[in-house]
Amino acid sequence: MKLIDVVRRAGRSLRQAKVRTLLTSLAIGVGAFTITLSLAGGQGGRDYANAIVSANTDRREIAVSKPIQTNASNGVKEYDPSGSSAPAAQSFGDNLNEKDIEKLRTFNHVESVTPGYSPTVNYITTNGQKKYVVQSVSSYTDAVKLSFAAGDAKNLGDNGIILNEEYVKALGFGDAKSAIGKTVAIGATRQASLATGAPEDKEFSYVVKAVTSESGLAFRAQGSLLVSEPAVKTLYDFVSQGTPAYNQFFIASVMLTDQQYAKEAKAEIEKAGYTAQTAEDLLGVVNTFINVLLGVLLGFGALAVLTSVFGIVNTQYISVLERTQQIGLMKALGMRRRDVGRLFIFEAGWIGFIGGAIGSGLAILAGTIANPIISKQLDLNGIHLLIFDPFQVAGVIVMLVIIAILAGVFPSRKASKLDPIEALRTE
Amino acid sequence: MIEVIDVTKTYGKKDQTFTALKNITFTIPDGASVAIVGKSGSGKSTLMHAMSGLDRPQEGQVVIDGEDILKLNAKKVDEFRARKIGFIFQSFFVQANESVSDNVSLPLEIAGVARSERKQKIAAALSSVDLTEKVANKAKNLSGGQKQRLAVARAIVNEPQIIFADEPTGNLDSVTGQKVEDMLFSYNKEKGVTLVIVTHDADLAEKCDIQINVIDGEIASINKKGSN
Ligand SMILES: Nc1ncnc2c1ncn2[C@@H]1O[C@H](COP(=O)(O)OP(=O)(O)OP(=O)(O)O)[C@@H](O)[C@H]1O
Ligand SMILES: [Mg+2]
């Protein structure tokens, strides 16, 4: 018997028992639905994490800090009345100082090292406007992929500033475009004036070069005012010079000449006693989390599939018993054992295919409907969290067909072993 | 030619054995019509099964076209039945949920006949049993007589060399039974197909060239037409 005829007969038998076929398929469909959605979520989650990481960091960039000193490693110390054992000002971990920065610059493949300046400033204002609180001022780096509502960061210079849209509104510029070229002032306070030892106020003025638009991805720079590295250093020097925290950096950004050295450089930096984190590390942490979540969801899907396996075995087994006479006839007419077995195997395979197709189809439908809703709820600016990879969906269906076929092996063996004479005797 | 030589069939094991066929020997020439007659339980169906390669008796030979089919392996026996044998069973055994044409198609598919050839063969078989207009109907919607005619169409569609019919008219009224009988005999005459009919209908047996009388698994007599 030709294979195609066996497949066709299998399909026809299923059609003759439509309701039963559909119900059996639905069980496997639940598994297909769960698995397809989980995979789409995993894919979407990984893509999203990847997008966030690459929007906020450069793969050439390594974040370096001093390891955090835990009490466990220090142990409990005896009190020393001379005061030498008193806790330092920054009791958790050491900060990076000038020497560390210089040392980092000497490592292989290092292009530049930028200490994490984060000067505390008081307000931002412009002519004839009120003063507004500033969350933070940081240095602009092209490692962060900003999207601009107006202008760009190309000619930032030493007196340029990048605002975000909220400040544009607050400062009364109307829209982003009209803010470009305007002058703003940032007010800062020096805690201990070198001359008098008393606090000293000063305003620094900048020209608006660009306005960032809100992005679902670039968190690192959002809410922060961005100026050039020398400009932020000037601010930092003004605010911190003379305080104990001066030139003590919690973190420094090491930029490599090429991302291919990231692993190598990280190892070298860590060997020198620093903590180093690459963009890959960050992504790795996020992806591990996503994978664990994905694993749990896939587990539920697998459980549903396992349950449906018993459904298929049961349905097919009953089908064999019901069709004893038909099987007997086919064998009497010379159908080979192998072909009789295949007939039932293909029926099981069809059930798997129908279930897989229905489940995956519904999952894609649900995902397509849910994507914009999720995106809106989580404020992702149109980013889709469920991504259906056609190969993955096809893979799920193929896998379920194979599982269904395996489930059909036992009933099909029963069918192929039937004695035609016995089978024809049953009326 | 079918040569049955010294065939013995026993059922059961050890002390529970029952001998359904005892040292059966006879010969059927090609193109003959044969009636196997006997009381219920005498072993007619068992004999038919042994002759057609459905069953394997413990002893003896069944030589068809010079080949002992009892010595063939399972695959070869299946192939032999698919290519050379047509079966008609007492209780129709048509597939109720399938269409008339799908029912007739089954032996062709099993024998591996190409799809393109099937259509024409199915049409020819259905027309010779007068069921042409029922081709697209579901088999369950046919009357009893139509079902048995469908079974005849299925038996002849692949142009077998031998047709085995186990009580082909047993479930039919006399008029319908007559019609099916006529079909089988005319097919036997026209195509020269060997026809083996198991029956306990004396009238039907009369019409056959050879009558083999079975009593308790043994051959009581063999009558040839015009020689008794
Ligand atoms: N599988 C089996 N196991 C044991 N005995 C069997 C088996 N099959 C048939 N028999 C016995 O073999 C004998 C012959 O059976 P068979 O079916 O050939 O009778 P038959 O002549 O066709 O009868 P009928 O006219 O009623 O169809 C019977 O006594 C039956 O009980
Ligand atoms: Mg019988």
**What is the C-alpha to C-alpha distance for residues B145 and B119, in angstroms, rounded to an integer?**
23
* Residues A340 and A378 grouped into a single domain: yes
pLDDT at A88 over 50: no
CB A382, CB A217: distance < 8 Å? no
Shortest distance between the Cα of A421 and any Cα of chain B, in A, equals: 7
pLDDT at A112 over 90: no
CB contacts, 8 Å: A10 with chain B: none
Quote the pLDDT of residue A92: 47
- The pair of structure tokens assigned to A419 is 């004695």
* Residues A47 and A62 grouped into a single domain: no
Secondary structure element (H or E) that encloses residue B158, with its range: none
Q: What share of chain B is helix, strand, coil (3-state, %, to 5)?
A: 40, 30, 30
* Residues A140 and A205 grouped into a single domain: yes
Indicate the SS3 state at residue B219.
Answer: strand
Per the CB < 8 Å rule, is A335 touching B82?
Answer: yes
* Residues A240 and A382 grouped into a single domain: no
The residue to which tokens 């006479």 are assigned: A325
Residue of A97, A98, A173, A162 lying closest to A136 (CA atoms) = A162
B20 lines ligand 1 (CB under 6 A): yes
Quote the pLDDT of residue A135: 81
| Mean pLDDT, rounded, of chain A | 86
**What is the C-alpha to C-alpha distance for residues A92 and B147, in angstroms, rounded to an integer?**
93
Shortest distance between the Cα of B47 and any Cα of chain A, in A, equals: 12
- The pair of structure tokens assigned to A389 is 């990879």
* Residues A202 and A261 grouped into a single domain: yes
Closest-CA residue, ligand 1 atom 14, reads B43
**What is the C-alpha to C-alpha distance for residues A101 and A95, in angstroms, rounded to an integer?**
11
Secondary structure element (H or E) that encloses residue B191, with its range: helix B174-191
Quote the pLDDT of residue A91: 43
Residue of B120, B176, B174, B185 lying closest to B143 (CA atoms) = B176
| Number of compact structural domains in chain B | 1
pLDDT at A31 over 80: yes
Pairing relationship of beta strands A137-139 and A148-151 according to DSSP bridges: unpaired
- The pair of structure tokens assigned to A321 is 């018993």
* Residues A300 and A161 grouped into a single domain: no
- The pair of structure tokens assigned to B12 is 């059961």
- What percent of chain A shows pLDDT beyond 90? 33
Quote the pLDDT of residue B137: 93
Pairing relationship of beta strands B210-215 and B59-64 according to DSSP bridges: unpaired
Per the CB < 8 Å rule, is A421 touching B109?
Answer: no
**What is the C-alpha to C-alpha distance for residues A140 and A233, in angstroms, rounded to an integer?**
12
- What percent of chain B shows pLDDT beyond 90? 78
Maximum alpha-carbon separation in chain B: 55
Strand partners of residue A65: A275
The residue to which tokens 């079974």 are assigned: B151
pLDDT digits (tens, 9 = 90+) for A313-328: 999 999 999 999 999 9
Closest approach atom of ligand 1 to CA B48: 18
Q: What torsion do the CA atoms of A335, A340, A341, A342 make, to the nearest 10 degrees?
A: 90
The residue to which tokens 């599982």 are assigned: A403
Q: Which of A227, A254, A278 is the last residue of a domain?
A: A278
pLDDT at A381 over 80: no
pLDDT digits (tens, 9 = 90+) for B100-151: 999 999 999 999 999 999 999 999 999 989 999 999 999 999 998 899 999 9
**What is the C-alpha to C-alpha distance for residues A113 and A109, in angstroms, rounded to an integer?**
11
pLDDT digits (tens, 9 = 90+) for A338-369: 999 999 999 999 999 999 999 999 999 999 99
Secondary structure element (H or E) that encloses residue B2, with its range: strand B2-11
Which whole number is the average pLDDT over A265-282? Answer: 87
CB-based contact, A423 to chain B, within 8 Å: no
Radius of gyration of chain A (CA): 34
Domain ranges, residue A65: 57-278
Q: Which of A219, A248, A278 is the last residue of a domain?
A: A278
How far away, in angstroms, is B166 Cα from ligand 2 center?
7
- The pair of structure tokens assigned to A310 is 């018993």
pLDDT digits (tens, 9 = 90+) for B158-198: 999 999 999 888 878 888 888 889 989 999 999 999 999 99
How far away, in angstroms, is A126 Cα from ligand 2 center?
109
CB B180, CB B145: distance < 8 Å? yes
* Residues A151 and A247 grouped into a single domain: yes
Q: Which of B45, B58, B199 to mutate to test the pocket of ligand 1 (most atoms within 8 A of CB)?
A: B45
Shortest distance between the Cα of B70 and any Cα of chain A, in A, equals: 15
* Residues A235 and A123 grouped into a single domain: yes
What is the identity of the amino acid at B8? T
- Cβ neighbors of B176 (< 8 A, separation 6 or more) are B144, B145, B148, B169
pLDDT digits (tens, 9 = 90+) for A194-216: 667 778 888 999 999 999 887 66
Task: Return the residue of B nearest to A324 by Cα.
Answer: B93
Quote the pLDDT of residue A262: 86
* Residues A358 and A301 grouped into a single domain: yes
What is the identity of the amino acid at B223? N
* Residues A139 and A64 grouped into a single domain: yes
Quote the pLDDT of residue A65: 87
Q: Which of A278, A305, A332 is the last residue of a domain?
A: A278
- CATH value at residue B80: 3.40.50.300
Per the CB < 8 Å rule, is A334 touching B97?
Answer: no
| Number of compact structural domains in chain A | 2
pLDDT digits (tens, 9 = 90+) for A114-152: 888 888 888 999 988 888 988 888 888 877 777 788 888
What is the identity of the amino acid at A427? E
Which whole number is the average pLDDT over A101-120? Answer: 88
CB contacts, 8 Å: B79 with chain A: 334
Phi, psi of B177 (to 5 degrees): -60, -40
Higher per-residue confidence, B148 vs A80: B148
How far away, in angstroms, is B41 Cα from ligand 1 center?
5
How far away, in angstroms, is B44 Cα from ligand 2 center?
6
pLDDT digits (tens, 9 = 90+) for B40-98: 999 999 999 999 999 999 999 999 999 999 999 999 999 999 999 999 988 888 998 89
Per the CB < 8 Å rule, is B106 touching A333?
Answer: yes
pLDDT at A71 over 60: no
Exposed / middle / buried, residue B23 (Cβ in 10 Å: 0-12, 13-18, 19+): middle
**What is the C-alpha to C-alpha distance for residues A162 and A231, in angstroms, rounded to an integer?**
12
How far away, in angstroms, is B81 Cα from ligand 1 center?
22
pLDDT band at A219 (very low <50, low <70, confident <90, very high): low
Quote the pLDDT of residue A417: 93
Secondary structure element (H or E) that encloses residue B204, with its range: helix B202-206
What HEC string does chain A produce?
CCHHHHHHHHHHHHHHCHHHHHHHHHHHHHHHHHHHHHHHHHHHHHHHHHHHHHHHCCCCEEEEECCCCCHHHHCCCCCCCCCCCCCCCCCCCCCECHHHHHHHHCCCCEEEEEECCCCCCCEEECCCCCCEECCCEEECCCCCCCCEEEECCCCCCCCEEEEEHHHHHHCCCCCHHHHCCCEEEEEEEECCCCCCCCCEEEEEEEEEEEEECCCCCCCCCCCCEEECHHHHHHHHHHHHCCCCCCCCECCEEEEECCHHHHHHHHHHHHHCCCEEEEHHHHHHHHHHHHHHHHHHHHHHHHHHHHHHHHHHHHHHHHHHHHCHHHHHHHHHCCCCHHHHHHHHHHHHHHHHHHHHHHHHHHHHHHHHHHHHHHHHHCCCCCCCCCCCCHHHHHHHHHHHHHHHHHHHHHHHHHHHHCCHHHHHHCC
B11 lines ligand 1 (CB under 6 A): yes
B9 lines ligand 1 (CB under 6 A): no
* Residues A203 and A313 grouped into a single domain: no
Maximum average pLDDT range among A37-51, A365-379, B154-168: B154-168
CB-based contact, A337 to chain B, within 8 Å: yes
Whole-structure pTM over 0.90, yes or no? no
Phi, psi of B164 (to 5 degrees): -105, 125
The residue to which tokens 């007939």 are assigned: A343
- Cβ neighbors of A255 (< 8 A, separation 6 or more) are A58, A60, A61, A110, A111, A112, A113, A114, A143
Domain ranges, residue B154: 2-224
**Residues A395, A396, A397: CA angle, nearest 5 degrees:** 90
Exposed / middle / buried, residue A232 (Cβ in 10 Å: 0-12, 13-18, 19+): buried
DSSP letter string over B3-51? Answer: EEEEEEEEESSGGG-EEEEEEEEEEE-TT-EEEEEE-TTSSHHHHHHHH
CB contacts, 8 Å: B111 with chain A: 334
Task: Return the residue of B nearest to A427 by Cα.
Answer: B91
**What is the C-alpha to C-alpha distance for residues A59 and B51, in angstroms, rounded to an integer?**
81
Task: Return the residue of B nearest to A425 by Cα.
Answer: B91
pLDDT band at B226 (very low <50, low <70, confident <90, very high): low
CB B36, CB B197: distance < 8 Å? yes
Per the CB < 8 Å rule, is A334 touching B110?
Answer: yes
* Residues A316 and A392 grouped into a single domain: yes
CB-based contact, A427 to chain B, within 8 Å: yes
